[in-house]
Amino acid sequence: MKPVPEIFAPPADVVEGRRNLVGLDRGALTALLVEEGLEPFRARQLWHWIYHRGVTDFALMTTLAKPVRERLATRFAVRRPAVARAERSTDGTQKWLLRFVDGQEAETVHIPEEDRGTLCVSSQVGCTLACKFCHTGTQPWVRNLGPAEIVGQVMAARDALAEWPSPKDDRQLTNIVLMGMGEPLYNYDNVATALRIVMDGEGLAVSRRKITLSTAGVVPMMRRCGEELGVNLAVSLHAVRDELRDVLVPLNKRYPIAELMQACRDYPGLSNARRITFEYVMLKGVNDSPADARALVRLLEGIPAKVNLIPFNPWPGSSFECSSAAAIRHFGDIVNAAGYASPVRTPRGRDILAACGQLKSDSVRRRKADEAAAVA
């Protein structure tokens, strides 16, 4: 196995001497305010302004006394990542390239549907996993996103959707999937802090039932994720034999299929009402035969599961082809006949490279170009 690229830590979230309050959990926020000589109950007031109202300017936080607001404004900030680029697909999907304080970038995608609106959130800049069919894996530099950068994606989307204060009903952003750039279980602590903030009922208030974390199969972290966060789990399976999965998802060499399926069986809180979603990218002539479908059914035995069949989304330079519609249908019929829902995910936002596996920031390339220009 090739050495895994180093994962760099997020930068300190301080700009011009002012620390960002976004991304601190309730305990940390309270501690910070107490350190400043403020009363602990101020944390609850701030929480409401930051996460329920979406206010970024302390001057507008009118339940706080004016001197307190002024003091907070000299020491702290309520920041969002900057929107470096915004694109809208003909199908209504929106993609935002967000820039963080160190200039690194990651993408967030909003997918509106009839009965819901799903935000696809990134957990890292780049990804170490290098899955063969995924664009993100071709980006060499990888760093973890901090809690503020993960929560910041949700808040930036809510800004763009003009969805403040957090509405109770009729939201455009109802669901969150951690299916953007990166492997969330390789950045567990920051993802967990971010999700606890997002799930808090007095703030953004997105319920754990509406959140799905997608993993390529970091087996040792799966149980903790279920116990501590209780979110829905999606597993990127993509192959039913280790020989093939070793190639498509190299992480399989570390955590092979049998171990992965056992970790799925053991995932806390599973029931027929709460199933694991298995993602299966349809690659022509690679993993899409009826025999593969039958083997998949055998693997799923005993696991409350559904299967998302994802037509392969091409990207510049990718070496796979998407399975034919007939092959996908046939595959789905076999899985379905065995009692597992197996919807084919209609690709969304393909025209703006916003579909599964198409996300890649060009910040690295651009910075290299800038450096070259500076030298010349």
Q: Which amino acids are annotated catalytic?
A: 107, 356
Asked if 267 touches ligand SAH (CB under 6 A), the answer is no
CA dihedral for 165, 80, 179, 317, sign (positive or negative)? positive
- Candidates 293, 356, 360, 363; binder of ligand SAH (CB under 6 A) is 356
Compute the least distance from the CB of residue 3 to ligand SAH, in Å.
19
Compute the least distance from the CB of residue 329 to ligand SAH, in Å.
17
CA distance 98 to 361: 9
Compute the least distance from the CB of residue 133 to ligand SAH, in Å.
5
Asked if 215 touches ligand SAH (CB under 6 A), the answer is yes
Which residue number, 148 or 216, has a Cβ lying nearer to ligand SAH?
A: 216
CA dihedral for 276, 277, 283, 287, sign (positive or negative)? positive
- Candidates 125, 195, 281, 352; binder of ligand SAH (CB under 6 A) is 281
The interface region with ligand SAH, picked from 68-76, 95-103, 203-211, 309-317 by CB under 6 A, is 309-317
* Total binding residues toward ligand SAH, as defined by CB under 6 A: 16
To which H or E segment does residue 259 belong? helix 257-265
What are the residues facing 105 on neighbouring strands?
99
Tokens 């780049």, residue located? 126
Q: What's the residue count for the chain? A: 376
Residue type, 60: L
Which residue number, 49 or 278, has a Cβ lying nearer to ligand SAH?
A: 278
- Candidates 13, 107, 149, 279; binder of ligand SAH (CB under 6 A) is 279
The interface region with ligand SAH, picked from 18-26, 202-210, 214-222, 361-369 by CB under 6 A, is 214-222
Interface map 76-115 toward ligand SAH (x if CB under 6 A): ----------------------------------------
Asked if 149 touches ligand SAH (CB under 6 A), the answer is no
Residue type, 255: Y
Q: How far, CA to CA in Å, does 36 sit from each of 10, 40, 79? A: 25, 10, 19
CA distance 368 to 250: 28
Closest CA to 249 of 344, 128, 123, 125: 128
- Candidates 49, 51, 278, 312; binder of ligand SAH (CB under 6 A) is 312
Q: How far, CA to CA in Å, does 229 sit from each of 27, 140, 200, 217, 222? A: 17, 30, 12, 17, 11
Asked if 212 touches ligand SAH (CB under 6 A), the answer is no
The interface region with ligand SAH, picked from 91-99, 131-139, 140-148, 153-161 by CB under 6 A, is 131-139
- Candidates 105, 149, 183, 292; binder of ligand SAH (CB under 6 A) is 183
To which H or E segment does residue 223 belong? helix 219-224
Compute the least distance from the CB of residue 235 to ligand SAH, in Å.
7
Q: What is the dihedral angle through the alpha carbons of 54, 58, 63, 65, rounded to the nearest 10 degrees? A: 170
The interface region with ligand SAH, picked from 22-30, 68-76, 212-220, 367-375 by CB under 6 A, is 212-220
CA distance 162 to 179: 23
Q: How far, CA to CA in Å, does 331 sit from each of 258, 302, 334, 356? A: 22, 20, 5, 20
Asked if residue 180 lies in contact with residue 152, where contact means CB atoms within 8 angstroms, the answer is no
CA distance 369 to 376: 11
Which residue number, 72 or 281, has a Cβ lying nearer to ligand SAH?
A: 281
Give Cβ neighbours of residue 258 (< 8 Å, ≥ 6 apart). none
- Candidates 105, 357, 360, 361; binder of ligand SAH (CB under 6 A) is 357
Which residue number, 135 or 158, has a Cβ lying nearer to ligand SAH?
A: 135
Compute the least distance from the CB of residue 359 to ligand SAH, in Å.
8
Compute the least distance from the CB of residue 251 to ligand SAH, in Å.
8
The contact set with ligand SAH (CB under 6 A) reads: 131, 133-134, 179, 183, 214-216, 236, 279, 281, 310, 312-313, 356-357
